[in-house]
Amino acid sequence: MKLGHAEKVWLVLVGLTATGAWLAETGHAGWPLTFTVAGLIGFKGRLVIDHYMEMTRANTKIRRVLYAFVTIVPLLVILSHGWGDVLRRLTTIGT
């Protein structure tokens, strides 16, 4: 049986979800987990945006907003892990 494009994308997404499930049970806090989580968010998001929402052949402005969303969030994941103390200082009221 030959798989269509949508089926292949769905299988990749399921495989990446299984990876996330495995990490949920075995992962330890640290840079490897942080980068993997950031990568999974960005890559899975792009798969849905490009292949489910067909953004590769849609309005450029809409595509850029969606791409920005799945780029900013992974960056925030990395920043929050490495520079959480900076964020804490910036968001502390009073002394």
Chain positions contacting another protein, by CB under 8 A: 6-7, 9-10, 13-14, 17-18, 20-21, 23-25, 27-29, 33-34, 37, 40-41, 44-45, 48-49, 51-55, 57-60, 62, 65-66, 69-70, 72-73, 76-77, 80, 84-85, 87-88, 91-92
Contact by Cβ (8 Å): 62, 55: yes
- First vs last C-alpha separation in the chain: 65
Burial class (CB in 10 A: 0-12, 13-18, 19+), 26: exposed
Cβ 12 to another protein shortest distance, Å: 10
Nearer to another protein, 65 or 95 (CB): 65
Residues in the chain: 95
Cβ 16 to another protein shortest distance, Å: 9
| Helix ranges, 1-95 (H) | 5-26, 31-47, 60-82, 84-90
Nearer to another protein, 2 or 57 (CB): 57
